[in-house]
Copies of this chain bind each other. A is one copy, B any other.
């Protein structure tokens, strides 16, 4: 598939803008676990996912993590190019959660197109609003929801992403998604197991009662 089919406003760009974009694109394939963008001043560029799965998270000084959002096929990552807008004053880390194919769009090229094209600027606005909404969902989760609800919601979300009830995931990894400690997750999962909602085994969690998990998650 061509870039033009992944980039929804391609038809609204001028021939010159399309040529500049095409010439500056870099196609990359990254392995599961790769770090695509680390916090800090570097401006990796915008990432447009062909296929695969990326994860955006923040890191505390002590190395704790919390997941902000995931990116799937056709999603565009703006915050790996925080130099794009001077008002972006935070750092995210982007890693590949699966083997992922993507295009890297240099930030400067994108910025120039955005300055000329209202369509490109409005497309960027929609993407930022969409990520903003995901982060607001996270704020509501961490402010108002207890950890049992959050673990239940996370397991259901993972099962939806994977299309499976059996998740190959460690307690440590769940803790890193939710910004808590492994012990907290382990205690919660054992409680869920005692209630018949999950079955635990080494490196895996199997959902055995989704209805009960859904009621627990408050959704």
Contacts and interface: CB of A to CB of B under 8 A. Distances in A.
A90 to B, nearest CB: 4
| Oligomer: number of copies | 2
Interface string A126-143: 111111110111111011
A124 interface: yes
Contacts of A127: 87
Q: Of residues A90, A120, A129, which shows the largest number of chain B Cβ atoms within 10 Å of its Cβ?
A: A129
Contacts of A60: 140, 143-144
A4 to B, nearest CB: 21
A139 B138 contact: yes
A32 interface: no
Interface in A78-115: 85-90, 114-115
A183 B159 CA distance: 39
A118 B88 CA distance: 19
Contacts of A64: 143-144
Contacts of A144: 60-62, 64
Given A90-B137, A118-B121, A125-B128, 14 more contacts: A62-B144, A88-B132, A89-B130, A90-B136, A90-B140, A114-B118, A114-B125, A115-B118, A116-B118, A117-B118, A118-B118, A128-B128, A139-B142, A142-B142
